[in-house]
Structure 1
Amino acid sequence: MHRFAISLTLLLIICLLCSGSAIGQERHYELSGTVTSQSGETLPGAYILINPGNRTISADDRGRFSVSLPAGEYTLQYQYLGMEQGVQQVDLRRNMNLRLQMKVKATGLRQVEIIARPSTDVNSTNMGSTYMDVKLLTKMPALLGEVDVIRSVSSLPGVVNAGEGTGGFYVRGGSADQNLVLLDDVPVFNSAHLFGFFSVYNPDILKSYTLHRSGISAKYGGRISSILDVKLEEGNTERMRFKAGISPVSAKFSMEGPVTQKLSIVIAGRAAYPTYLLKMFNSDNIKNSSADFYDVNVKAKYRVNENNSLTLSTYYSADNFKFPYDTTYNWTNALGSLKWDHQFNSNLSSTVTLAKSVYDNNVEGIAIGEEFNLNSGIDFEQAKVDFWYTGVNNNTMEFGGGVSNYTIEPGKLEPYGTSSLNPRILQRDNGVEYHAYVNDEIRLSPKLSVSLGVRYSNFSKIGPTDVYLYENGRPRSETSITDTLVYEDGKKVQTYQGFEPRAAIKYSLNEHSSIKASYSRSRQYIQLVSNTAAITPVDVWKLSNRYLRPQVADQWSVGYFRVEQDNSYEFSWEVYYKLLHNQLDYKDGAVLVLNPALEADLLHGDGVAYGSEWMVKKNKGRLNGWLSLTYSRALRKIAGDTPQETINNGDWYPADYDRPLNLNLFANYQLWPKWTFSSNFTYTSGRPMASSDSWYRYYGHIFANYTGRNQARMPDYHRLDVALNYDFNQGKKVEYTGSISVYNLYSRRNAYSAFFRHYYGSPVQGYKLAVIGVPIPSVNLNVKF
C-alpha cells in the first residue's frame, strides 16, 4: 500500500512537471451542461462531438458532461439512440453551463440504418465499465418472450452466466454474491424470477444500465467484483404514454406521463403464468408442478423548482414455485428509495437518498409426515448523501457518505401437521456499516488525465447474539465448543474497517485512442452462504463476525481503447490481475441450513484471478453488434491449521466459477425498414466440479470416491439464440412491435450439474443434468401509444 502511494505520488509529480508548460500556454474555460429529452428526462450516456478538435465526450449517468477547452468558437453535435441529432454553436469566452435538448426520432420507411452509441469513452479515465443501450436490448433474442438485463450483461467481456435456470452471473473470477446489483440505487438480494428465467427488471421502463468491472469510482462499495447500476425511467412531462405486451407465458403493462406540471409518474406491472405449459409434459412430476410471479414498479418525480426535485421509486415482486409432492418455494422483494436532488449552482449539486430493501423467502414442506415452514430473509436500510462538483480547474469531484443497517433472518423452522421435525430458530444477524468517500478526476493536459479516490468503510457486527468459543488446536465443530459469550442488544461484537484507495490514469495517443490503467481496493462485509454456484431462493446471507472476516480484493488493470472518428467501430483490450483475501469455501459435508455453529463448517483462504478481455463493436449501419472474447483464470487456496480445515492439501485449485474461455457474438441486422434479425452465440469452458474416479463399499452400500475439490470439468457450454423482429407502425402515434425468437436453436443439452453412479462390475459412470435441452420458441407482441 505504501509503495503504491509513493509510486503514484512520483507519477503525478512527473505528469505535472511535463504538462505544466502546456497548460499555461493558453486560457482554458469549462464547458459543462446536461443532455435531456424534450420532456426533461436526462439522457445518460449521450455523446457529444466537439469541433474543431474532433473530440468526443459522453454524459455521465446523470446526463451531465464537463470538458475544459481553449477559448474559441465550437460546434457541438450531440447524439443519443432513438433521438434526432442536435447541433449547437458555442462561443467559449467564459465558463458556460448548457442545457442540450433532444427530440425523439421519427423513423420513416426509408430509414434502414441503426445507430448505437459507443460503450467506450476514450477521453475519460473510466475503464472496465460498459454502458448498454436499452433500445438495443429489445432487439436481442429473448427467452420465453422477455428480453433480460442479466442475460445481456452476460454477453460482455469478463462476464459469465451462472447457468440456465439461475439468476446469478460471475465477473472476473468472482462469485455471484460479489456483484452489487442495484435498482435505482437500492441493492437487490435476489434478482431472479422463476429461478432465473426472468430478471426483476421490467424492460419497458428501463432508462439505462451500466456494468462496472474495474476502475470503479470510490462512490461505489460493498462488493468486490462488480457493480450493476440499473436506472428506471422518470416519466415524461409532455403527455401520458402507455405500453403493453403479451407472450405465451407473460403479460405486462406500463404507463408514464405528467400528473401535474411538476409531477410525473411511472407505473408498470408484469405477471407470468407458465403453469399451463407444464401440464403439457408427459412426466407427472412436471405436469403437477406450478409456477408464477408478478412484479410492480411505481416511480414518481416531483420537480419543486429548477434547482430541487424529489423522486420516489418503489418495487414489489412475489414468486411461487411448487413441486407436486414435497416442496413449495415462495420469495418476495420489496424495494424503495426516496431522493432529493438539489442544484446549488452550475458547478455543485447533491443527492440525498433514503433506501430500503427487504428480501423474504419461505420454503414449505408438504410431504405427509414432513410438513414444515422454513423462513429466511434480509432487511437492508440506508441513508446517504452524494455531491458532484464540476470545477474551473479542469476537475470533476464526487464526495459523500452514508450509513447502512443490516438485519438478517438466517432461518426459522416451524413444523406443522403430522411432522416429527423439531422447531428451530437461529439468532438474527445484525450489523451497521458507515462509509465516506471522495473521488476527483483531474485533467492535467489535453492528453493526460488522472482519477484519484479513496473510500473509508467501517462495519460493526452487533448484538443481541451468542458467540461460541472453540478449543485451541482442534478443528472448529460443535464438539469443540468450550464456552459461549452472550452479547446484549446493540453491543458491538466485532468491528472491521479500512481505507479503499482507487486510482486511474488515461493517456490519449490521439483523438480516437488511449491507454488506461487503474488500481482499486474494495471490501465486502456480507457473504452468501450456499453450496450452489449461483444465487437461489434457499441461500442464506451472512454478515462478517468474529470468525467470518470481510472479503478484500486488490485489482490492477491496464487496457487499450479506440473509437473510430465517426463512432462506427470501437475496440478495447483490457488485462487485469486480482488478489482476493478471506475467500469463503466449505468443509466436505458442510451443513449450511439451520446450523447454529455455521462458522465451524466455513473455511477461509486466498484467491487470485487474472485474464485478458477483447471486444470489437460495430455501432453504425444495417449490421451492428459486438464480438467479445475473454481468457481468464480464478484460483483458490485454502490451507488451514488442520487437515479438516484444508482443501486439496493446501494447493491451488480452480474456483467454482473458473471458466477460462468465454466467447460471445451478438449481431443485429436490418433486413428491411421494418424487419430486423438478431442472433446471439455464446461459448464458455465447462464449470469445475469434483469428479469420482473410484468407488468403495460401506455396510453393503456402494459410494463414489472423490479425489479432490474441482479437479475435473463439466462439458463446455455453448448455445445459439435467434430472433426476428418487426415494427408494424414506425413513427406513428400507436406503435406495434413483435418478435419471434428461438432460444437454444440447435438443441444443445448443456450440463447444469453432474453426478456419479456405480453399478457392480463396471467403472463409475458420470451423468449430467440439463435444465434446457430443446429449442424454446416464443413470440411476443408489444404496443405503445
Structure 2
Amino acid sequence: MPLKTIKALILFLLIAQQVMAQQAADIKYKLTGTVKSAWGDRLQGVFLVFTPGASGVLTDKQGNFSLQLKEGTYEVTCQYIGMKPLKETIVVDANKQIDLMLLPHNFSLKEVEITTRPVTDVNSTRMGSSFVDQKLLTRMPKLLGEADVIRAVSALPGVVNAGEGTSGFMVRGGSADQNLVLMDDAPLFNANHLFGFYSVYNPDILKSFVLHRNAISARYGGRVSSILDVSLRDGNSEEMKYEIGVSPITAKFSMDGPIFKKATVLAAVRGAYPSYILKLFPNRNIKNSSGYFYDANLKFKYQVDEKNSLSFSGYYSADGFKFPYDTTYHWTNTLGTLKWSHLFSNTFTGTATLVKSNYKNEVEGIATGEEFKLNSGVDLTQVKLDFGYFGKENHQVDFGGEASLYKIKPGDLVPYGTSSLNRRTLNEEEGYEFIGFINDDFKVNDRLSLSLGLRYSHYAKVGPSETFLYAEGQPRSEQTITDTLFYGSGKTVQSYQGLEPRASIKYSLTANTSLKAGYSRTRQYIQVISNTASITPVDIWKLSNRYIKPQVADQFSLGYFHTHYENRYEFSWEVYYKKLYNQIDYKDGATILLNPALEAELLFGDGYAYGSEWMLTKSLGRLTGWISLTYSRSYRKIAGTTPEESINDGLSYPSNYDKPINLNIFADYHIWPKWKVTGNFTYTTGRPITAADSWYLYQDQRFANYVGRNQQRMPDYHRLDVALNREIIKRGKVEYSGGISVYNLYGRKNAYSTLYQHYYGSPPSAYKLAVIGAPIPSLNFNVKF
C-alpha cells in the first residue's frame, strides 16, 4: 500500500475517532428527581445548580425537577429558605432519578439565614413575589402575643394596610377584595378574626406563604391585584409531636405525626378570650365591647404508593363580637381541600383538587324596638386539574383547568321581638366560572429565560334571577326602573369571557445580577360592594351581571435584581404601571345594605396605578433583616354622562388606597446564644378622605358640605414594634420557646378615621379616632413534646 494512502487512512481514522468522541460527549441524559424536607414535605421552589456548566432548575409544586445533562460528574447545590444548603456529587452516565433531602438550619449557630424572597429571584423569571417562611414569621413582633400573616404581608414592598387593627391589605393600587387569599389552595372570603386584629392563619402550623404581585403564572387568577398563597405544613413522618402555646388572649394546641404506615396527620385548635384585654383600650366603644373566636385545622396525607398520594386539608372558624348597646356580629369560615397527586412518569405529574369554601355571616340588632337578624354568605365549590411536564429540555410546562360554582346569599333580614322592622330578603345569586391555562418556563441560554402563559376564563351568571331595566339617557335609580326581566333556574343572565396573557423575561447581566420585565392581564368576576377600605363581616359579595362588568387589569413591570457576597445581601428595584378597567365607586349617600337595585347606587369607571419599589435584604450574620421603600400612586376616574353619574367632575382623583410613601424596616439581631431581638418600623402616608369644609341648613336640618372626593388626607401613619425572642431550648424530647413583644412602642395615636363636630359660630372641627393609641405589651410561650 502506498505511503500516502497509509497516511491518509491514519488521518481518516483519527478524525473519525474525534468525531465519534465528540458525538459521545454531546449525548445528554435525563436527570429527574424530588427534593424533600426531613419531615417528608415535598419542597416547591428549591433552586438547584449543577456544576460544571452552571445549569439551574427549580422544583415544581410537587417538589419535582427534570433537566438534561451531558455525561460526566457534577456537583449539585440546593438552596431553600430555612434549610441548610446541600451539596452532593452525582455521576451522570445514564437516565436516572434521584431523591434529595434538605435539613433545617441549626439555630444554635450565630449565623441564621432569613429572607423575604428566595435567592433564586436573580436566576428565575419570577418578579413581584415575596416569600416568608414560618420561622421568620414567628420571630416578628406580635400584637397581643400572636404572630400574624396579614400583618407580615403589610411589611412587604408594594403593600399597604387599611388601618390599625384591620385585616384588609392593598397591593399596588388595588382594593382589598382584589387579592385572592388562599389556605392550602382554598379561597377565603373573610380572612380575619376580631375585625382584623388577627388573621385566620394559626402561625404554629404554617409552612410558608408567598405574595405574588406581578408576573403571576397563568395557573393563578380570579383577582386583579395579587395572590396570597399560604401553605400549611404536613404532619411529620418520624413520631407524634404535640405543641401547646399561650399568649395574653389565645390558647393553642396542635399535634402532628404518623398515624399508620405512609400516613401522617396534623391537627390544631386555637381559641381566644379578648374581652378583658379590650377593656384596656382607650377608645370607649372598644373598651365596652366583647368578643371571641376559635378555629381548628386538620390535615391528613397518605402516600398510597410511589406514584400516588392523597391529602385532605380542612378548616373551621367561628367569630363573635359585640359592640355596646346595639349590635352583635357572628361569622364562620368552613374550608376543605381534597387532593390526589399522581406521577405518570419521571417527567409528567398531575394533581386533581376538590375545593369547598363556605362563609356565613350574621349581624344581630339588639336595641329595643329594632331587634333583627341579618344573614348573608358566600359558597364556592371548585374542581381543579393541574399537570406538569418536564420532558423537554430546558422547559417546565404547567397546564390545566378548573370549574367553579359561586352561590351568594346577599341578605335576609329577619325581625324579632318588639321590632317594628319588616322582613326583607334579597334573591340569591349563582354563577359559573370555567378556566383553562398553559404556562411554559424555559431557558433559552445561560443568560436568557422566558415564562410565557395564557389563561382563558369564561363566566356566566345564571338564574333564578330578576334584572331591572332602566330608562335610557337617565341616571339609574329606583324611580327610573321601566321593566323587570325574569330568568328561570339555570338560565344564563349574563356571560363574559376573555384571554389573560402572561409573559416575563429574565436576562442575566452577571451570575449575580439580572434584569427582568413582565406583563400580565387578569380578570375578576366577583367583588365586594363596600364603602370601607378593609374587608368586614357586613360587606356584600356581588357577582358580575348586566351592569357590573368584570374587573380587568393590565400590568407592566421592570426590575433589577442583584445578590452580593454569597447571597448575604440582596437588592431589588421594581417599577410598574397598572391600568384597571370597570372599577366600582359609589354615589354620594349611596344605600348599599339590602338594596335590590344596588347597581343604581354604583358608579363605574377606570383607574391606573404606578410605583417604584426598592428592597435591600441582609440574610446572613448576627444582624439580618430588610429595608423596603415604596413610592406609589393610585387614581380612579368616574366620568358619566351626567353630573350625578360622575365623581370629581369627571376628573381623576386619588383612590381610597393611595398612600404614596410606604417605608418598612425589619431587623433581627442575635444578641446572645438563643436570644434574638427583633424590631419592625412602619411609616406610610395618610390615606385619602372626603372632608367637609363648611355646613349648611336645609329645612332646619344641618348638613356637611363636602369638597371633592378624596381631596384631603388622614395624618401620616407610623409605628415601632419590638420583640425579645428566646429560641428553642431542648430538654430531652421537650422543646421550649417564647418571647416578649411590645406593639406600638412609643404609643403613637394613629388615626383610624376622622370625624367632624360642629360648634355654633365656628367652622367644622375634625378629630381623629385612634383604635390603638398606647403601647401594647404581651408574652407568648410554646412547649413542644
Moved more, 292-301 or 231-240: 231-240
Q: Does 1:220 align with 2:194?
A: no
From the superposition, tell whether residues 75 and 432 of structure 1 become closer, same or farther in structure 2 (CA, over 3 Å): same
Preserved contact between residue 754 and residue 768 of structure 1 (Cα < 8 Å): yes
Aligned residue for 2:411? 411
C-alpha distance in 2, partners of 1:699/1:492? 48
Q: Structure 1 27/681 Cα, relative in aligned 2: closer, same or farther at 3 Å?
A: farther
User: Which residue of structure 1 aligns with residue 170 of structure 2?
Assistant: 170
Alpha-carbon distance in 1 for matches of 2:377, 2:714: 32
Question: Which of 1 and 2 has greater Rg?
Answer: 2
Closer, same or farther in 2 for the Cα pair 1:58/1:570, shift >3 Å? Answer: farther
State whether residues 31 and 97 of structure 1, in contact with CA within 8 Å, keep that contact through their aligned partners in structure 2. yes
Provide TM-score, normalisation by structure 1: 0.94
> How far apart are 1:491 and its partner, in Å?
0.5
2:282–2:772 CA contact under 8 A, matched in 1: no
CA contact (8 A) 2:282 2:773 kept: no
Equivalence for 1:474: 474
Asked whether the equivalents of residues 308 and 341 of structure 2 are also in contact (C-alpha less than 8 Å), the reply is yes
Where does residue 252 of structure 2 map in the other structure?
Answer: 252
Report the equivalent of 1:238.
238
Task: In structure 1, give the amino acid aligned to 2:135.
Answer: K
Mapped to 2, the partners of 1:417 and 1:380 lie a distance apart of 34
Tell me the equivalent position of 1:341: 341
1:115 to 2:119 alignment: no
CA contact (8 A) 2:478 2:600 kept: yes
Shift of residue 79, structure 1, vs aligned partner: 4.1
The aligned amino acid for 2:118 is S
Is the 8 Å Cα contact of residues 45 and 131 (structure 1) preserved in structure 2? no
Q: How far apart, CA to CA, are the structure 2 residues paired with 1:81 and 1:448?
A: 25
Q: Which one-letter code corresponds to 1:600 in the other structure?
A: A
* Corresponding residue for residue 694 of structure 1: 694
In 1, Cα distance between the equivalents of 2:559 and 2:495? 37
In the alignment of these two chains, the number of paired residues is: 760
1:553-612 deviation digits (Å, cap 9, x = unpaired): 001111111123512111111111111100000001111100000000011101001111
Aligned equivalents of 1:125, 1:94: Cα separation in 2: 30
Question: Partner residue of 2:651?
Answer: 651
Deviation (angstroms), 1:97: 3.3
How far 1:65 moved relative to its partner? 3.6
Partner Cα separation in structure 1 for residue 319 and residue 226 of structure 2: 26
- 1:766 alignment partner in structure 2: 766
The CA distance in 2 between the partners of 1:668 and 1:45, in whole Å, is 24
**Distance of aligned partners of 1:280 and 1:512 in 2 relative to their CA distance in 1, 3 Å threshold:** closer
The aligned residue for residue 486 of structure 1 is 486
Secondary structure in 1 matching 2:195:
helix
SS at 1:772's partner residue? coil
CA distance in 2: counterparts of 1:551 and 1:283, whole angstroms? 38
The answer to whether the 8 Å contact 1:692/1:706 transfers is yes
Structure 2 letter corresponding to 1:585: D
Counterpart residue number, 1:442: 442
Deviates more, 1:321-330 or 1:331-340: 321-330
User: Where do residues 97-116 of structure 1 align in structure 2 (5 Å cutoff)?
Assistant: 97-108=97-108, 111-116=109-114
Which residue in the other structure is 1:453 paired with? 453
- AA aligned to 1:678 is T
Q: Which residue of 2 aligns with 1:518?
A: 518
Residue 708 of structure 2 corresponds to residue 714 of structure 1: no
Q: Which runs of 5+ in 1 are unaligned?
A: 1-23
1:505 and 1:467, CA in 2 relative to 1: closer, same or farther beyond 3 A?
same
Give the Cα–Cα distance (whole angstroms) in 2 for the partners of residues 84 and 737 of structure 1: 21
Measured after TM superposition, the shift of residue 771 of structure 1 is 0.8
Matched residue, 1:355? 355
Amino acid corresponding to residue 113 of structure 2 in structure 1: I
How much does 1:776 deviate? 0.5
- Looking at structure 1, the residues matched to 443 and 405 of structure 2 have their Cα atoms a distance apart, in angstroms, of 37
Work out whether residues 294 and 317 of structure 2, in 8 Å CA contact, stay in contact via their aligned partners in 1: yes
Q: Which moved more, 1:253-262 or 1:42-51?
A: 42-51
Aligned match of 2:539: 539
Identity of aligned residues (%): 60
CA contact (8 A) 2:181 2:188 kept: yes
Q: Deviations over 1:233-281 (max 9, x none)?
A: 1111111011110011101011000010121100001111011233457
Taking structure 2 as the reference length, the TM-score comes to 0.94
Listed as ranges, the matches of 1:363-382 within 5 Å are 363-382=363-382
Q: Deviations over 1:688-713 (max 9, x none)?
A: 01011222122333322101100111
CA deviation digits over 1:483-524, x for unaligned, max 9?
000000100000000111111111111111111111111100
Q: How far 1:86 sits from its partner (Å)?
A: 2.7
Tell me, yes or no, if the aligned pair for 1:574 and 1:613 is still in contact at 8 Å: yes
- Residues of 1 paired with 2:42 and 2:728: CA distance? 28
Q: 1:682 to 1:421 in 2, by over 3 A?
A: same
How much does 1:221 deviate?
0.8
Q: Distance in 1 between matches of 2:283 and 2:455?
A: 54
Structure 2 match to 1:136: 136
Aligned to 1:17: none
Describe how 1:714-733 pairs up with structure 2 within 5 A: 714-727=714-727, 729-730=729-730, 732-733=732-733
In structure 1, C-alpha distance between the alignment counterparts of 2:699 and 2:234, rounded to whole Å: 66
Query: Aligned to 2:110, what secondary structure does the other structure show?
Result: coil
Distance 2:143 2:446 in 1: 46
Deviation at 1:95, TM superposition (A): 4.7
1:616 and 1:99 map into 2 onto residues whose CA distance is: 34
Give 1:412's aligned amino acid: D
Partner of 1:399: 399
What CA distance in whole angstroms lies between the structure 1 residues aligned with 2:70 and 2:131?
A: 29
User: Match of 1:259, SS?
Assistant: strand
Distance 1:81 1:637 in 2: 42
Q: Which amino acid aligns with 2:622?
A: R
Aligned position for 1:291? 291
* Equivalent position of 1:268 in the other structure: 268
CA–CA distance in structure 2, aligned partners of residues 249 and 87 of structure 1: 44
Aligned: 1:91 with 2:91: yes
* Structure 1 range deviating more: 52-61 or 410-419: 52-61
The DSSP-based 3-state class of the residue aligned with 1:312 is: strand
Could you give the per-residue CA deviations for residues 80-114 of structure 1, whole angstroms, max 9, x where no partner exists? 45544432101234554321013345544xx2111
SS of aligned partner of 1:644: helix
Deviates more, 1:377-386 or 1:111-120: 111-120
Distance 2:571 2:197 in 1: 31
Answer yes or no: is the 8 Å Cα contact 2:80–2:118 preserved in 1.
no
| One-letter amino acid of the counterpart of residue 743, structure 1 | Y
Query: Mean Cα displacement is larger for which, 79-88 or 263-272?
Result: 79-88
Rate the CA distance shift 1:28–1:698 in 2: closer, same or farther, 3 A.
Answer: farther
Q: Is the contact made by 1:114 and 1:623 (CA closer than 8 Å) also made in structure 2?
A: no
The answer as to whether partners of 1:364 and 1:373 remain within 8 angstroms in 2 is: yes
- Which deviations, in whole Å up to 9, do the C-alpha atoms of 1:381-433 show, x marking residues without a partner? 00110001112321000000111000000000000000000110000011000
Structure 1 residues 65 and 677, CA, compared in 2 at 3 Å: closer, same or farther?
Answer: farther
* Map of 1:779 onto structure 2: 779
Gaps of 5+ in 2: 1-23
Cα deviation digits, residues 111-148 of structure 1 (max 9, x gap):
21111355242111111111112211111000010001
Q: Distance in 2 between matches of 1:593 and 1:644?
A: 20
Residue pair 1:338, 1:354 contacting (<8 A) in 2 also: yes
Q: What letter matches 1:461 in structure 2?
A: K
Q: CA separation in 1, counterparts of 2:129 and 2:402?
A: 24
Q: Which residue of structure 2 lines up, in the alignment, with residue 191 of structure 1?
A: 191
Distance 1:323 1:771, change over 3 A: same
Residues 683/346 of structure 1: CA separation in 2 closer, same or farther (3 Å cut): same
Contact 2:283–2:770, Cα closer than 8 Å, also in 1: no
1:77 deviation in Å?
2.8
Partner of 1:73: 73
Distance 1:534 1:285 in 2: 19
1:293–1:319: 8 Å Cα contact kept in structure 2?
Answer: yes
Question: Deviations 1:431-468 (Å, cap 9, x if unpaired)?
Answer: 00000000011211111111111000000000001100
| Counterpart contact for 1:638–1:650, Cα < 8 Å | yes
Residue of structure 2 equivalent to 1:668: 668
Kept after mapping to 1: 8 A contact 2:435/2:455: yes
The 8 Å contact of residues 369 and 419 in structure 2, kept in 1 or not, is answered as yes
Structure 1 residues 198-236: Cα deviation after superposition (integer angstroms, max 9, x where no partner): 111111111121110110000001000000001111111
SS in 1 for 2:122: coil
* Cα pair distance change 1:412/1:309, threshold 3 Å: same
Q: Deviations over 1:20-45 (max 9, x none)?
A: xxxx9966555443211233212334
In the aligned structure 1, how far is the partner of 2:572 from the partner of 2:278? 44
**Inter-partner Cα distance in structure 2 for 1:768 and 1:393:** 61
Q: What residue is the counterpart of 1:314 in the other structure? A: 314
Residues 611-640 of structure 1, C-alpha deviation per residue, up to 9 Å, x if partnerless?
A: 111111111111111111111111000011
